[in-house]
Structure 1
Amino acid sequence: MATLTDLRLRRSVLYMPGSNQRALDKAKSLPCDSIILDLEDAVGPDEKETAREQVCAAVKNGGYGSRELVIRVNAPQTPWGEADLHAAIEAKPDAILMPKVSSPAVLESIADRLESLDAPEDIRIWAMIETPASILNIHEIAKARRDSRTRLACFVLGTNDLSKDTWAKIVPGRAPFMPWMMTALAAARSEGLTILDGVFNDISDTEGCRAECLQARDLGFDGKTLIHPSQLEPANTSFAPTEEEVRRAKMVLEAFERPEYAKRGVIKLEGRLYERQHLAMNRRAVSWAEAIKAKGF
Structure 2
Amino acid sequence: MKDKEFFLMRSLMFVPAHNSKLMESASTRDADVLLLDLEDSVQPAENKPIARESIKKWIESGRFGNKKIFPRVNDRESGQLLKDIYQLTIEGIDGFMYPKAKNGDDIYFIDKLLETIEYEKGMPIGTFQLIPLIETTAAVLNAQEICKASSRVIAIAYGCEDFISDLGGIHDKEGQSLFTPRSIIAMAAKANNVIPIDTVHINVHDLDELEDNLKIAKILGFEGMMVLNPKEIPLVHQYFSPTDEEVKNANEILELAEAAKKEGKGVALVNGKFVGPPMIIAANKTIKKNNLIKNKT
TM-score by length of 2: 0.90
Query: Secondary structure of the equivalent of 1:71?
Result: coil
Q: Which amino acid aligns with 1:72?
A: R
Q: Does residue 1:139 correspond to 2:149, yes or no?
A: no
- Once the two structures are superposed, the pairs formed by residues 148-227 of structure 1 within 5 Å of their partners are 148=151, 151-227=152-228
Cα distance in 2 for partners of 1:82, 1:48 equals: 12
* 1:70–1:253 distance in 2 versus 1, CA, 3 Å: same
Question: Match of 1:290?
Answer: 291
Question: Match of 1:126?
Answer: 131
Identity, in percent, stands at 25
Query: Secondary structure of the equivalent of 2:149?
Result: helix
Query: Secondary structure of the equivalent of 2:31?
Result: coil
Aligned residues: 288
- Once the two structures are superposed, the pairs formed by residues 1-297 of structure 1 within 5 Å of their partners are 8-45=7-44, 46-90=46-90, 93-118=93-118, 120=123, 121-145=126-150, 148=151, 151-259=152-260, 262-296=263-297
Q: CA deviation at 1:101?
A: 0.7
Structure 1: tracts of 5 or more residues without a match: none
Cα distance in 1 for partners of 2:264, 2:20 equals: 59
CA offsets 1:230-259 (integer angstroms, 9 cap, x no match): 110111010011111111111111112225
Structure 2: tracts of 5 or more residues without a match: none
Cα distance in 1 for partners of 2:88, 2:256 equals: 49
CA offsets 1:65-124 (integer angstroms, 9 cap, x no match): 221100111112113222112112246510111111101111122123223323643211
Cα distance in 2 for partners of 1:181, 1:130 equals: 11
Contact 1:261–1:267 under 8 Å retained in 2: no
Q: Which amino acid aligns with 2:13?
A: L
Q: CA deviation at 1:143?
A: 1.8
Cα distance in 2 for partners of 1:74, 1:7 equals: 24
Q: Which amino acid aligns with 2:67?
A: R
RMSD: 2.0
Cα distance in 2 for partners of 1:290, 1:152 equals: 23
Query: Secondary structure of the equivalent of 1:37?
Result: strand
Contact 2:11–2:237 under 8 Å retained in 1: yes
Contact 2:6–2:154 under 8 Å retained in 1: no
Cα distance in 2 for partners of 1:112, 1:98 equals: 14
Contact 2:156–2:196 under 8 Å retained in 1: yes
Query: Secondary structure of the equivalent of 2:71?
Result: strand
Contact 2:58–2:64 under 8 Å retained in 1: no
Contact 1:92–1:123 under 8 Å retained in 2: no
CA offsets 1:130-172 (integer angstroms, 9 cap, x no match): 0111012222222213xx4xx2222111111101111222233
Question: Which shifted more, 282-291 or 27-36?
Answer: 282-291
Q: Which amino acid aligns with 2:132?
A: A
